[in-house]
Amino acid sequence: MQEHHVNYKRKVIQWRYIVQREIITQIINDWDPIGLLDSGAPIDEYDLEIEEILLNMNTGTDDIELANIIYKSFKDKMGLSLNKLACLKYAMEISGAIQLSQ
């Protein structure tokens, strides 16, 4: 019984990760914060930043924290300073989409 419960929890966590990754990828790619996709870059251009965002957010992350995570991810990975209000706007969009998916 214990093993079944652990496997179920593992599958739920994996499902949440997949859904959250898809949501964040869609929103970041639609935003295209530095215009790389619009200039012909590959669709996976922001994958490192998206992965960084996923690794640093958790279920208790609020919109401001998520905006800071987005800002820091792009700063750390690309050396770019994004507009912090834009980061907050897209953090709120991500949070709303994730809440709707649950």
49 neighbors 69 (Cβ within 8 angstroms): no
Q: Which of 4-8, 17-21, 87-91, 98-102 has the lowest mean pLDDT?
A: 4-8
pLDDT surpassing 70 at residue 1: no
- Spell out the domains of the chain, with CATH numbers in brackets: 2-101 (1.10.340.20)
CA geometry: angle 37, 81, 33, nearest 5 deg: 20
pLDDT surpassing 80 at residue 6: no
d(CA 25, CA 12): 20
CA geometry: angle 89, 93, 98, nearest 5 deg: 150
- Using H for helix, E for strand and C for coil, what is the string for 9-26? HHHHHHHHHHHHHHHHHH
pLDDT per residue over 43-102, tens digit each? 999 999 999 999 999 878 999 999 999 999 999 989 989 999 999 999 999 999 999 998
d(CA 69, CA 91): 9
